[in-house]
């Protein structure tokens, strides 16, 4: 059964069951991955996958059912969705959206990528591994891989919405290990794009090698409250852990300390945060969200002042505002929640070197571990194993590990002293420039 036939049958059955309105969200895609280890193909994967979510309003409540199989018992699926609707007691209602008049056009599909054969992707992964091996004798390559994928989303409902979007991407990742005696350090670097000619294999390999080699010989330092530089991608990763507090749903439920902070100073006045689903080349670029709401760029924090939360249709209705177009699902299986798109701290003027040169004694952090366990997204408390370098008299003097940095995210936002010009996104489309924090608790050897 194809998806449009299935849609018609589901809608028909739902009407008989007494659903007021309903929707189908279908997602499909294929992907290819090749992973190289010691010159050989270690992993070679290809897949095609898809599934749908049916949801409908029954007596004002939304009921859900999902399936990867399309040849399902349609009436049973609709009945299960109805049972799910019947136990819902939340008062804020979910909506089946009638659609926007106009949708922006975004550039997320590159037809030429379809012509890149498996063999070329294998060669790319091989040559990244070769460049890394050639860089230094202390380097071994754990993994060099290339992944490509395409995706298709189709949303159609009984309120008149019918939208679809096709996208594709290619990604290269290399993970190397630097070894000097018993001292081993693993680091990885990633590249994501839609055009394989934009990938510089040598540069990617060398970046990973440099990162791993520079960490060799790291030792702990004495603790204290230190001026701390956090590298762009690392700060983006930390920011990712606290995004939940910007989501209106969490604010409304009391799970965010940003409650009642709209219009107030929540960060240093050099911090501006943007969520831009229309960004050219962004990893989360899209013309509409999972509810079919048209995308637009918005400022979340302007010069330290919180301007808006991220909304989907339900949370926007509860606050009497318009959806910001951030109603996304993790996959077709999930119910609609809220998520950022390309969410980033706007860059400043200083280069990283300039920022470091102003620090008499401090640390430069370029890697943290334990993000999923060492952060409390509600309280903002964080305590992370960290590594990087020691800064003395305005320059980097040696590598550092076995330390923890601890603090509170909301205090850190206010204590940002410098925002550099090197904006970089992590693979979850969260971006930050390198930042300087005025004092973080660092603990290490005593």
**Tally of CB atoms within 10 A around 349:** 11
Contact yes or no for 68/51 (Cβ under 8 A): yes
Distance from C-alpha of 223 to C-alpha of 394, rounded to nearest angstrom? 19
Single out the segment in contact with other proteins by CB under 8 A; choices: 48-56, 104-112, 128-136, 145-153: 48-56
Binding map of other proteins across residues 98-127, x = CB under 8 A, - = no contact = --------------------x---------
282 CB-side CA count, 13 A? 22
Under the binding rule (CB under 8 A), the answer on residue 414 touching other proteins is no
Distance from C-alpha of 257 to C-alpha of 245, rounded to nearest angstrom? 7
Q: Considering the complex, state which of residue 211 and residue 298 has its C-beta at the smaller distance from other proteins.
A: 211
CB of 387 to other proteins, least distance (A): 9
Binding map of other proteins across residues 342-371, x = CB under 8 A, - = no contact = ---------------------------xx-
CB of 274 to other proteins, least distance (A): 27
Using the CB atoms, write b or e for 12-32: b if 16+ within 10 Å. Answer: ebbeebebebbbbbbbbbebb
**Tally of CB atoms within 10 A around 51:** 16
Distance from C-alpha of 424 to C-alpha of 434, rounded to nearest angstrom? 8
Q: What is the DSSP string of 263-317?
A: TSB-S-TT--EEE-TT-TT-TT--SB-TT-PBP--EEEEETTEE---B--HHHHH
Q: Considering the complex, state which of residue 46 and residue 395 has its C-beta at the smaller distance from other proteins.
A: 46
By CB under 8 A, the count of residues binding other proteins is 69
List 389's β-bridge partners, or say none: 364, 399
Distance from C-alpha of 213 to C-alpha of 176, rounded to nearest angstrom? 10
Cβ neighbors of 336 (< 8 A, separation 6 or more) are 94, 290, 291, 312, 313, 314, 327, 328, 329
Q: What sign has the CA pseudo-torsion 428, 429, 430, 436? A: positive
Q: What is the DSSP pairing of strand 298-302 with strand 305-306?
A: antiparallel
Q: Considering the complex, state which of residue 38 and residue 101 has its C-beta at the smaller distance from other proteins.
A: 38
Among 5, 12, 43, 322, binds other proteins (CB under 8 A): 43
Q: Considering the complex, state which of residue 194 and residue 250 has its C-beta at the smaller distance from other proteins.
A: 250
CB of 258 to other proteins, least distance (A): 12
Within 226-265, which residues bind other proteins (CB under 8 A)? Answer: 253-255, 257
CB of 42 to other proteins, least distance (A): 7
Under the binding rule (CB under 8 A), the answer on residue 64 touching other proteins is yes
Under the binding rule (CB under 8 A), the answer on residue 1 touching other proteins is no
Binding map of other proteins across residues 198-217, x = CB under 8 A, - = no contact = --------------------
Cβ neighbors of 53 (< 8 A, separation 6 or more) are 24, 25, 26, 64, 65, 66, 329, 332, 333, 334
Distance from C-alpha of 102 to C-alpha of 100, rounded to nearest angstrom? 5
CB of 424 to other proteins, least distance (A): 22
Single out the segment in contact with other proteins by CB under 8 A; choices: 1-9, 65-73, 190-198, 425-433: 65-73
Q: Considering the complex, state which of residue 2 and residue 115 has its C-beta at the smaller distance from other proteins.
A: 2
Single out the segment in contact with other proteins by CB under 8 A; choices: 61-69, 163-171, 416-424, 428-436: 61-69
Q: Which two tokens stand for residue 79?
A: 């009945």
Under the binding rule (CB under 8 A), the answer on residue 401 touching other proteins is yes
Within 141-200, which residues bind other proteins (CB under 8 A)? Answer: 142, 177, 184-186
Task: Give the DSSP H or E segment for 203.
Answer: helix 201-215
Single out the segment in contact with other proteins by CB under 8 A; choices: 16-24, 58-66, 304-312, 319-327: 58-66
Under the binding rule (CB under 8 A), the answer on residue 334 touching other proteins is yes
Cβ neighbors of 27 (< 8 A, separation 6 or more) are 50, 51, 52, 151, 152, 153, 154, 331, 332
CB of 174 to other proteins, least distance (A): 15
Among 1, 4, 12, 44, binds other proteins (CB under 8 A): 44
Among 11, 19, 26, 66, binds other proteins (CB under 8 A): 66
Q: Considering the complex, state which of residue 80 and residue 427 has its C-beta at the smaller distance from other proteins.
A: 80
Picking from 223, 440, 247, 237, the residue whose alpha carbon sits closest to that of residue 338 is 247
CB of 20 to other proteins, least distance (A): 17
Query: Residue written as tokens 């969410």?
Result: 343
338 — phi, psi (to 5°)? -130, 140
CB of 65 to other proteins, least distance (A): 6
Interface contacts to other proteins, rule CB under 8 A: 37, 40-51, 53, 63-69, 72, 80-81, 83-91, 118, 142, 177, 184-186, 223, 253-255, 257, 333-335, 369-370, 372-374, 376, 378-379, 381, 383-385, 401-402, 404, 406-407, 441, 443-446
């Amino acid at each position: 059964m194809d998806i449009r036939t299935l849609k018609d049958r589901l809608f028909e059955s739902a009407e008989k069951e007494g659903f007021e309105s309903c929707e189908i969200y279908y997602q499909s895609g294929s992907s290819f991955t090749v992973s190289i280890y010691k010159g050989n193909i270690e992993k070679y994967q290809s897949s095609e996958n898809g599934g749908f979510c049916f949801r409908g309003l029954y007596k004002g409540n939304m009921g859900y059912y999902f399936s990867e199989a399309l040849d399902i018992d349609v009436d049973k699926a609709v009945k299960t969705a109805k049972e799910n609707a019947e136990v819902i007691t939340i008062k804020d209602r979910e909506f089946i959206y009638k659609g926007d008049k106009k949708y922006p056009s975004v550039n997320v599909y590159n037809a030429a990528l379809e012509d890149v054969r498996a063999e070329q992707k294998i060669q790319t992964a091989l040559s990244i591994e070769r460049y890394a091996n050639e860089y230094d004798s202390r380097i071994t390559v754990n993994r060099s891989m290339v992944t490509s994928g395409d995706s298709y989303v189709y949303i159609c409902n009984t309120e008149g919405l019918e939208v679809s979007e096709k996208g594709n991407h290619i990604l290269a990742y290399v993970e190397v290990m630097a070894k000097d005696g018993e001292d081993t350090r693993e680091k990885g670097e990633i590249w994501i794009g839609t055009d394989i000619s934009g990938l510089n294999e040598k540069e990617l390999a060398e970046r990973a090698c440099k990162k791993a080699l520079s960490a060799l010989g790291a030792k702990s330092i004495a603790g204290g409250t230190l001026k701390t530089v956090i590298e762009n991608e690392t700060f983006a990763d930390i920011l990712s852990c606290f995004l939940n507090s910007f989501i209106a749903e969490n604010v409304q439920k009391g799970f965010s300390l940003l409650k009642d902070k709209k219009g107030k100073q929540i960060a240093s006045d050099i911090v501006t945060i943007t969520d831009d689903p229309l960004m050219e080349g962004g990893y989360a670029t899209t013309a509409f969200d999972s509810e079919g709401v048209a995308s637009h760029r918005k400022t979340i924090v302007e010069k330290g002042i919180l301007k808006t939360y991220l909304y989907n249709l339900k949370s926007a209705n509860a606050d009497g505002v318009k959806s910001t177009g951030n109603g996304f699902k993790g996959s077709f299986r999930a119910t609609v929640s809220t998520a950022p798109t390309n969410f980033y701290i706007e860059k400043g003027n200083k280069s990283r070197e300039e920022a470091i040169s102003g620090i008499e004694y401090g640390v430069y952090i370029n890697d943290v571990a334990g993000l999923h366990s060492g952060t409390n997204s509600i309280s903002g408390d964080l305590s992370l194993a960290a590594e990087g370098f020691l800064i003395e008299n305005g320059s980097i003097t040696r590598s550092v590990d076995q330390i923890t940095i601890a603090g509170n995210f909301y205090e850190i936002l206010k204590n940002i002293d410098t925002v550099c010009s090197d904006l970089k996104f992590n693979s979850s489309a969260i971006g930050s420039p390198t930042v300087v924090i005025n004092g973080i608790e660092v603990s290490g050897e005593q």
